[in-house]
Amino acid sequence: MRNNRKIMIAGNWKEHLTVGQASIFLHGLEQTVQTRQSVEVVLFPNVLTLQPISMQLDRRKFRMGAQDGFYEDAGAYTGEVSMAMLRDLVHYVLVGHSERRHIFNENDDIASKKMQAAVRNGIMPVLCIGETLQERLAGETNQILHNQITAGLRNLTAREVGACVIAYEPVWAIGTGEFALPDQVSRAIDYIRKQVEHLFGERASENIRILYGGSVDDHNAGSFLSIAGCDGALVGGASLNYHKFAGIVESAYRVHQSRLGVR
């Protein structure tokens, strides 16, 4: 059953695109990216551009996600955009991206509230987890992943967890051009799935999708997507280059074909 599952390629448009720039970029992307039944392509534009992009978007080709969302559905929270406000606009939302954790001091408690708010509003959350270089060198990778998974999935049911996505994004590989080795990614993915199994049971651990993120490009994507248990990629920098992003989608298509034994 796993072999038939679509591969998810998520593009986090993390640069500050204006509405005009985002619209021009989407146009280019629509011309370049080939639609493949076996690949789910999700774009994550910034919050200002979500609405205009959603009107321009070819829904047969792309789905949309938000880069963040606030955990209270309503109330006086100047400047925040709640999951309730996003619910009719997006399929997915990133939660706990390392830039939110490290630049905006978001802790596991906030990630947990955002996960619950996303699920409550019918949006599929993509929980981003990963260790810093210091933590990896200190041999703390598994402990960090364990803490982030336990906190992030707290108060969700096994069924809800099965519908979530986890993105393993080692902090040292984000935007640095330095990517994790497939063996490191493979070990992290296995560990994450085992933790989910331990906490929520076998069904949830089989159903949850696990992505890799960190300097993924059109040259290295195939080596990550071929890892057993890797359900896709969360792409930052390369998602803002049509040719690279289209190349990543094609790599996903080829990996899916080879999983099915098609030559």
Query: Which residues would be at the binding site for ligand 13P (CB under 6 A)?
Result: 12, 97, 169, 174-175, 213-216, 234-238
- 178 part of the active site: no
Give dist(CA 1, CA 232) in Å, integer. 16
Nearest to ligand 13P of 222, 237 (CB atom):
237
CA terminus-to-terminus distance, the chain: 19
CB of 122 to ligand 13P, least distance (A): 22
Nearer to ligand 13P, 97 or 256 (CB): 97
Nearest CB to ligand 13P, comparing residues 214 and 232:
214
Whether 169 sits among the annotated catalytic residues: the reply is yes
Using Cβ positions, the residue closest to ligand 13P within the complex turns out to be 236
Whose Cβ is closer to ligand 13P: residue 90's or residue 204's? 90
Torsion on CA atoms 226, 228, 232, 235, rounded to nearest 10: -70
* Among 106, 131, 160, 169, the one annotated catalytic: 169
DSSP per position, 118-133 = HHHTT-EEEEEE---H
> What are the tokens at 229?
């248990």
Q: What are phi and psi of 43, to 5 degrees?
A: -105, 140
Collapsed DSSP state (helix, strand, coil) of residue 243: helix
> Which residues belong to the active site?
97, 169
